[in-house]
Structure 1
Amino acid sequence: MQSMSVVASSQAAAVSQRLASSKKLSPAISRPAAARKAVRVRAEGEAAAPGLETKGQNFEALKDIQEIMNILPHRYPFLLVDRVLEWEYGKYAVGYKLVSMNENFFCGHFPQRAIMPGVLQVEALAQLGGIVMIDPTDAAQQNNFFFGGVDNCRWRKPVVPGDVLMMRCDVSKFNKKFGICKMTAKAFVGEDLVCEAELTLVMGK
Structure 2
Amino acid sequence: MLWLSCVDETAPALPAAWLIATDAQPANLPERSALRRSLACKVLARQFGLPDAAVEIGHEPAGRPLILAPQGSGLHLSLATRSGLVAIALAPRPVGVDVEQVAPASEPPLAMLHPEERRWLASLPASARPETFAQLWSAKEAYVKALGIGFARAPESFAVRLDGAGRFVVDGARNGGPASGFVRLTKNGGHESMAAAFIVLDQA
TM score, norm. by length of structure 2: 0.32
- Rg comparison, structure with higher value: 1
Greater RCO (Cα-Cα under 8 Å, separation 6 or more): 2
TM-score norm. by structure 1 comes to 0.32
Which has the larger helix fraction?
Answer: 1
